[in-house]
Amino acid sequence: MSEHRTIRDCRYCFATWPILADDADYHDDPRTGDLARAIAQTVHEREDVSDAIIGQFMEDAAAIVGDFHYDENTWTITEWTNHIDTGYDPDGFHGVDFTFKLNGIDYVVPSSDMEPAYPVSLREFRKEEVPGE
């Protein structure tokens, strides 16, 4: 049985959302923090990112960390591309804000108006966009 943990238990999340410290659930996984750091470093194009910046990417990391074997804990992000202003749609799919490769796997961040959008593998994105496949 897993222990109930809150944002206060994650230094990255607590640095980002201290007001929610005891209100929101958080399930600790060191790989998620490491992946969030890699995403933050890529997006901000620098190695020295604060805990608060890393915390902003914890939900993104949590959305995709399970795509990888539990022994995998080294994260390499390449080909990070912002498509918000260019209107690029990979393979003719619409509604993509960012594309990147994580450990050699293609990912997209779908467009979103008000709701949060989290990364998803391009393969899964294609399944969602093309009914019946």
Of 4 and 116, more confident: 116
Both 62 and 105 in one domain: the answer is no
Q: 53 and 8: one domain?
A: yes
Is 81 found in the same domain as 68? no
The reply to whether 67 and 86 lie within a common domain is no
- Per the confidence metrics, is the pTM higher than 0.85? no
Q: How would you label 62-84 residue by residue, b for 16+ Cβ within 10 Å and e otherwise? A: bbbbebbeeeeeebebeeeeebe
In terms of domains, do 60 and 26 share one? yes
pLDDT at res. 1: 40
**Mean predicted lDDT score pLDDT of the chain:** 78
> How many domains, in total, are found in the chain?
2
Instruction: Compute the distance between CA of residue 31 and CA of residue 6 in angstroms, rounded to an integer.
Output: 17
| One domain for residues 18 and 36 | yes
- pLDDT-based confidence at 5, cuts 50/70/90? low
Residue 132 above 80 pLDDT? no
Q: Is the pLDDT of residue 56 over 50?
A: yes
Co-location of 49 and 37 in the same domain? yes
- Higher pLDDT: 106 or 20? It is 106
- Among candidates 26, 27, 57, which has minimal Cα distance to 41? 57
- φ, ψ dihedrals at 44, nearest 5°: -90, 0
Compute the average pLDDT of residues 117-128: 88
Q: Are residues 102 and 127 in the same domain?
A: yes
Residue 22 is predicted with a pLDDT of: 64
Position 73 confidence tier, pLDDT thresholds 50, 70, 90: confident
**CA–CA distances in Å: residue 1 to residues 4, 8, 23, 27:** 9, 20, 21, 12
Comparing 45 with 1, the larger pLDDT belongs to: 45
Domain that holds residue 103: 77-133
Whether residues 71 and 81 share a domain: the answer is no
